[in-house]
Structure 1
Amino acid sequence: MSVLQRRYDIDWLRVIAIGLLLVYHVAIGFQPWGVMIGFITNGESWSSLWLPMTMLNIWRIPFLFFVSGMGVYFSMQRRSWKELMVERSLRILVPYIFGMVCIFPISVIILQAYYHWDLHYAANAGHLWFLGNIFVYAVLLTPLFYSLQKNLNGKFVTGLKKMLSSPLGLTPVVILFVGEVLVIKPMPYELYAMTWHGFVLGLLAFVCGFCFSLCGESFWHMLRAWRWLFLVLALVLFVVRIFVFGFKTPGFLLAVESNVWIFSVLAFGSKNLNRSSKALSYLSEAAYPVYILHMIFLFLGSWLIFPLTWVAPLKFVVVLVFTFAGCFGTFEIIRRVVFLRPLFGLKIKARQPIIHKNNQGLAQA
């Protein structure tokens, strides 16, 4: 099996997407409806945040499913299907169960304490629902993915590569997501967590992400060549949504806009981010634990800051900094403690050989 060059742009985009997730969740605390979906909310809303939030919300979660499908493709290149299942179980299932039992309930207790509700513990996936979905997808789809990988010269893969070497070849991809909306009729479209809409949409995005990576450089070259078209089209659809339809935008238009934003982000990422750095190495390792932990520090920051008489924008910045600082500070502990690493999806590092110096020279212990 050929060795593939690592796509650092996908690593960068994954890190950026996790960062945007944290910013978005902090912003929910400044919306009047935040408490309705289980967030601590500030007494003073900040309505100006809603415009960037509504732009992000229709593509940020689907994008993570696309990237997860791509990640499976690259993991397959150096693992058998049994090794892949073991790796997915350790990296996804273990943190999911641990987070459901030990992490998310802490944030719920903070929420209950802030609003003086009765305190009670209950295992709950909460924001970690995403991990449960992608583990199920990996289990269901691994046989199909390995079959496609073994038949790279078959008619299906050859036809797929040819189709996705043209921007028009993305039309069937968009149609799949439009069909999902027309069949399931989600209300609202942005409600992904623990819904059939989120499950089916995530499944489609996971498969499409795998297929994009399967097509190789011809697909990425096409995206880069047409990146400005995707960006302009996404902006036009966003403007039409805001100024023409508002809250009554048809679901099929949201599905189209969501996909075009994703194509645009992938295209510009491929053009500008496909390079390694020490910062990327650090952030790539940190992204998973930060995602798992962030609700605890978000709620702690909200509990401490929201009762103050500061203006909303200042509170937003302080809670955001508190959340990032708490997550990365805890990550610095996790990455150094061997037994904690697998609980947060990190690989257990191999023990480094001890070098002894003696009269005969150097010998490894």
Structure 2
Amino acid sequence: MSNNDPGTRLHALDAVRAIALMLGIALHSALSYMPGIDPQLWPLKDGQQSLSMSLGVFLIHIFRMSVFFLVAGLFAHMLFHRRGAVAFLRNRAARILVPLVLGWVVCFLCIAGVVVWSLVRANGGQWPASPPASGKLSFLHLWFLYILCWLYPGVLMLRRLVHAVDRNNVSTRVADRILRHLSAAPFRSLLLAAPISLALFLEPGWVWWFGVPTPGYTWMPPAVPLFIYGYVFGLGWLLDRQHALLDQLARRWWLRAWTGAVAAGLCLAMAGLEASYSTVRDPAIKLAYAIAYGIALVSWTLAFIGCGVRFLGRSTPLLRYLSDASYWMYVAHLPVVMALQAWMMPFPWPGLVKFATVTLVTCASLLLIYGRWVRPSWVGLLLNGRKYPRAAEPAVAVSGSDG
């Protein structure tokens, strides 16, 4: 997923992606303890519920996937211009498409086993008479990779079309100038939220509490999430053309963070703290919510990137190790999270304690597996682009894996 050339590797963005991955593990760990969660969305509902889980899921969901897509777009542009179109697509097929297919098969079988075990145990060792059923296609948590499989050829086709129509690259220079102008000041960059807010407003039947709809349940991605994530991916693509803009994002990242917090607070005031699957009927309220949500998404995404550039630009063995392990942890974490949730379901522990246990044990176990068996294997070659000898593992990274 990342650029592995040590001469051009952007360590801050690798670290940002790794931290966003940890937030994703925390989000999935929280779903079992979130009041009002739909069993079709998450079949393991624990008896210990906490509104703090809803708050965490709501806030993390606003910006986490946008960070992934922006970083993916930036690294895609870097890789494309270093290797060319054919080698770029070949690399993306090996590093994205193959892990998607293999990871989905393994994760689906493991998750199915966990759900069956949980149902049988909850029913006194017997298969329930009316088990929950869902014939709905699901790419699970790997829908991010699935959308990238659309965006990579899509951006190359769009690039070829633009160059065919605009041989003097006027449109590219204009786009660079606009992005440079909007990135120069935090409040100016709020204009970048306009296309996102408009797309959300135009989405019929928008379940507003969950923000950008998850495009992981159909072979053809829905138009609105595909547009939004493609737009953010495109911002990352353009951002790689002007690395000086990363320094601009780093200078006032805190102001963007506060702007996003205000916008997210407005969204919570309108949608409520408890998860809801209702849609918005009043066009004025829907428009106001879409504007606030778009501002929160853009502000927090840029603030997250800027904060990483500001504080995580220096490579350390721990950050480099976590960055390398992040792809493996992303692919493999969901069955581990669900297995731990199912195992702890009968325990009378508070939901917050269970959540913390699931998150920490998942991260620690996946880091241990990565260091001992994945990193020096063909799986490490597939995910990281190279195999590392087991002796080359930095001891500080292993000992600090809970961080």
TM over 0.5: yes
Residue 11, structure 1, aligned to residue 14, structure 2? yes
Query: For 1:164, what is the secondary structure of its paired residue?
Result: helix
Point out the more displaced range, 152-161 or 21-30. 152-161
Taking a change above 3 Å as real, the CA distance of residues 42 and 141 of structure 1, as seen in their structure-2 partners, is same
Q: What stretches of structure 1 move > 6 A for 4+ residues in a row?
A: 118-123, 146-153
8 Å contact 1:231–1:260 — kept in the other structure? yes
Q: What residue is the counterpart of 2:179 in the other structure?
A: 164
1: CA distance between counterparts of 2:168 and 2:33? 53
2:101 counterpart of 1:97: yes
Instruction: Give the percent of matched residue pairs that are identical in Structure 1 and Structure 2.
Output: 19
1:323 matched residue in structure 2: 362
Is structure 2 residue 266 aligned with structure 1 residue 240?
yes
Q: How does 1:48-197 map to 2 (within 5 A)?
A: 48-116=52-120, 124-145=138-159, 154-165=169-180, 166-167=184-185, 170-185=189-204, 186-188=206-208, 189-194=211-216, 196=222, 197=224
Q: Give 1:346's aligned residue.
A: 384
The range that moved more, 188-197 or 16-25, is 188-197
The aligned amino acid for 1:308 is F
How many angstroms apart in 1 are the aligned matches of 2:163 and 2:242? 11
In structure 2, relative to structure 1, the CA distance for the partners of 1:212 and 1:147 (3 Å cut) is farther
- How many positions carry a matched residue from both structures? 346
Q: Quote the offset at 1:100 in angstroms.
A: 1.8
Contact 1:85-1:139 within 8 A present in 2 as well: yes
Q: Tell me how far 1:19 sits from its aligned partner.
A: 0.5
Cα deviation 1:216-267 (Å, max 9, x = unaligned): 21x2233233323312211221232334563776223211211111121122
Q: Deviations over 1:38-74 (max 9, x none)?
A: 2412111022222232222111112211111111022
Q: CA separation of 1:298/1:244 partners in 2, compared to 1, >3 Å: closer, same or farther?
A: closer
Deviation at 1:155, TM superposition (A): 2.5
Aligned residue number for residue 362 of structure 1: none
Deviation at 1:269, TM superposition (A): 1.7
Distance 1:215 1:39 in 2: 44
With the length of structure 2 as denominator, give the TM-score of the two structures.
0.77
Match of 2:292 among 246, 249, 253: 253
**CA RMSD after TM alignment:** 3.0
Read off the aligned partner of 2:149 and give its amino acid letter. Answer: F
Residue 121 of structure 1 and its aligned partner are, at CA, apart by: 12
Q: What's the offset of the Cα at 1:147?
A: 8.3
The answer to whether the 8 Å contact 1:94/1:342 transfers is no
Whole-Å separation in 2 of the counterparts to 1:320 and 1:229: 30
User: Deviation of residue 193 (structure 1)?
Assistant: 3.6
Unpaired runs of at least 5, structure 1: 352-365
The answer (yes or no) to whether the contact 1:26–1:316 under 8 Å persists in 2 is yes
Q: Which shifted more, 103-112 or 283-292? A: 103-112
* Residue 337 of structure 1, CA deviation: 2.3
Matched to 2:57, the amino acid is M
CA–CA distance in structure 1, aligned partners of residues 48 and 377 of structure 2: 41
Moved more, 41-50 or 23-32: 41-50
Deviations 1:140-191 (A, max 9, x none): 1124457889999842333233322333663552222122112224323243
Conservation of the 8 A alpha-carbon contact between 1:31 and 1:46: yes
Tell me, in whole angstroms, the C-alpha distance in 2 between the residues paired with 1:257 and 1:200.
18
Structure 2, unpaired ranges of 5+: 1-5, 121-127, 274-279, 281-287, 390-403
CA contact (8 A) 1:91 1:342 kept: no
Quick check: 1:27 aligned with 2:30? yes
